[in-house]
Amino acid sequence: MTAAEQLPGPSGRTYSYNLDHTATPGGMKVRWRIRIAAGREAERLDVLQQRAIIDLLNWADKHEKQHRLGHGKHPPPIEKTPE
């Protein structure tokens, strides 16, 4: 990780980390922002994070099923046959 920086946040500090784009798939930019929170703010953020994770898992499950059934853009994986 490179370029760690501290930024003021509404309920604490925010830490940002940028990965080197030469070390990521396809040169994709990857950045994490971590905000430190406590009390009610932390509880509110926990709920938001839980909902976001559930949404992501549902999306990934839906798209994985579409690809498995052949409705996606990619062909289904080739299964190995016993020799």
Residue 39 tokens read as 């009390």
Q: Is the pLDDT of residue 70 over 50?
A: yes
Q: How confident is the model at residue 77 (pLDDT cuts 50, 70, 90)?
A: low
Residue 16 tokens read as 């940002």
Is pTM beyond 0.85? Reply is no
Q: Which residues contact 37 (CB under 8 A, 6 or more apart)?
A: 9, 11, 12, 45
The string of pLDDT tens digits covering residues 38-62 is 899 999 999 999 999 999 999 988 8
Residue 16's SS3 state is strand
Q: How confident is the model at residue 30 (pLDDT cuts 50, 70, 90)?
A: confident
